[in-house]
Amino acid sequence: MPTDHLKVLVVAGARPNFMKVAPILRALEAAGHEGILVHTGQHYDAAMSDTFFRELGIKNPDYHLGVGTASHAVQTARIMEAFEPVLTKVHPQWLVVVGDVNSTMATALVASKLRTETHMHIAHVEAGLRSYDWRMPEEINRVITDRLADLLLTPSEDAAGNLLAEGIPEANICFVGNVMIDTLMTQLPIARATNTVEELGLRRRHYVAATLHRPSNVDDPEALAAVLQGLALVAESTAVVLPLHPRTLKNIERFHLGPMLTPLTVLEPLGYTEMLALTEGAECVLTDSGGIQEETTALGVPCVTLREQTERPITITEGTNHMAPWPLTPRGILSAYADSVAAVAQATPPRPAGWDGHASERIVKALEDKRPVKDYSAS
């Protein structure tokens, strides 16, 4: 084994993690390092997990923790309990965590407590994003993970300012760009070769794609009804396609809002390639997802974000994203849709720096350059 060989433990747990770990694992392998994959099992449905492994060519996880769904505390605790022995056994030089889900924070926390024994360091991919909304579980996960990480790999140039303002040393921050766009660029030719749009009976640029799963939008019956009503208003003039997240489906049933889906084309959760094809062909995307705000910016497709704020403001200043007026109302959603389409038709914004398909290579370079060589307490 060459002395510059790195042993890197990479964690994935929920749907938005899979498209981030795929290129990182590939880049590690290409550079001759060892990437070991842990799947926490936070997401477990075939449509939320297996499909992505297959489509993105991700190897089978070396360890599967099988934690499943529970309250935040129980899910986090289960991940921590199951992850600790894996980490101790594998004893990597780096733990790489991505994004902002419970699996990200829980595994970083376990590693941070084992640092002095293991001499291992933690890298956070997608560091420095902030919504400044403490009601979001993701914001809590982001802030804690960034505080624990030794290497903060930022996706856009604005993220460093957030970290510096929190007292993170500049030497620990490294701008690598957006690793999700690596996957988008690899998969785009495959998505374009599918007939996803036509098979759904749609015409390119003559439909709106929508996604909805944030607790703030779907866990409260009035909020959920307002968004569905907004989608129905949009559907009066153009088809609206809604692949339904399991959380949203459960709540629509629980709140007896099923009839509000009638004007919409409702689908099961889509795989990566189909969703990319649907997004690329859309006139506009209405979403409360974080990743889709970035994907629409990379594709130049108008996007309306159905949230009070975004932790990805670069998609507004250097992209195609527009915030729907808050609080969300059906009319507000309708007018934001019209405004975003008109704005992007006038001028296609440039793609942010580092969203070029090579972020994973820069991540590996950063791991190599800042390789942990000594006891954490002395570093």
14 binds ligand UD1 (CB under 6 A): yes
Considering only CA atoms, which of 214, 344, 346 is closest in space to residue 283?
344
Span of 27-35, 54-62, 241-249, 362-370 interacting with ligand UD1 by CB under 6 A: 241-249
Q: Which residue blocks in 114-220 are alpha helix, DSSP H? A: 115-118, 137-148, 159-165, 179-193, 196-199, 215-218
Task: Give dist(CA 359, CA 300) in Å, integer.
Answer: 19
Task: Show the site string, 246-285: x = touches ligand UD1 by CB under 6 A, - = not.
Answer: xx--x-----------------------------------
CB of 269 to ligand UD1, least distance (A): 9
Terminal-residue alpha carbon distance, the chain: 25
C-alpha span between 317 and 269 (Å, rounded): 30
Nearer to ligand UD1, 105 or 153 (CB): 105
Nearer to ligand UD1, 31 or 266 (CB): 266
The footprint of ligand UD1 on this chain (CB under 6 A) covers a number of residues equal to 19
Kindly state the tokens that stand for 309: 């704020």
Q: Report the residue from 79, 101, 160, 363 that binds ligand UD1 according to the rule CB under 6 A.
A: 101
Kindly write down the DSSP assignment for every residue of 303-318, as one continuous string: EEE-SS--S-THHHHS
Q: Does 216 participate in binding ligand UD1 (rule CB under 6 A)? A: no
Evaluate whether 324 touches 304 at the Cβ level (below 8 Å): yes
- Choose the stretch contacting ligand UD1; rule: CB under 6 A; options: 9-17, 54-62, 77-85, 308-316: 9-17
Contact 124, 151 (CB under 8 A): yes
Tell whether residue 205 is a contact of ligand UD1 (CB under 6 A): no
- By beta-carbon proximity to ligand UD1, the closer residue of 44 and 376 is 44
Binding residue for ligand UD1, selected from 29, 45, 198, 253, defined by CB under 6 A: 45
The yes or no reply on residue 144 touching ligand UD1 (CB under 6 A) is: no
Task: Look at residue 130 and give its three-state secondary structure.
Answer: coil
Could you say whether residue 188 binds ligand UD1 (CB under 6 A)? no
- Dist CA 343 CA 208 (whole Å): 16
Angle among Cα 123, 124, 126 to the nearest 5 degrees reads: 145
Closest CA to 223 of 130, 332, 140, 315: 332
Reading the block at residue 27, the tokens are 């880049």
For ligand UD1, the binding residue among 40, 51, 93, 102 (CB under 6 A) is 102
Stretch that binds ligand UD1, among 156-164, 244-252, 259-267, 302-310 (CB under 6 A): 244-252
Name the 3-class secondary structure at 328.
Answer: coil
CA proximity to 208, closest of 296, 282, 267, 295: 282
CB of 93 to ligand UD1, least distance (A): 26
Residue in the structure block whose two tokens are 């990805």: 312
User: Which residue in the set 69, 88, 237, 379 belongs to the binding site for ligand UD1 (CB under 6 A)?
Assistant: 69
Candidates 8, 15, 282, 297: give the one binding ligand UD1 (CB under 6 A).
15
Residues annotated catalytic, as ranges: 213
- Binding of ligand UD1 at residue 130 (CB under 6 A)? no
Query: CA separation (Å) from 186 to 23, 273, 356?
Result: 9, 10, 11
AA identity, residue 199 = E
Is residue 44 a contact point for ligand UD1 (CB under 6 A)? yes
- Residue from 7, 31, 34, 48 that binds ligand UD1 (CB under 6 A)? 48
In the complex, minimum distance from the CB of residue 297 to ligand UD1, in angstroms, rounded to a whole number: 17
| Footprint of ligand UD1 (CB under 6 A) | 14-16, 42-45, 48, 69, 100-102, 137-138, 213, 245-247, 250
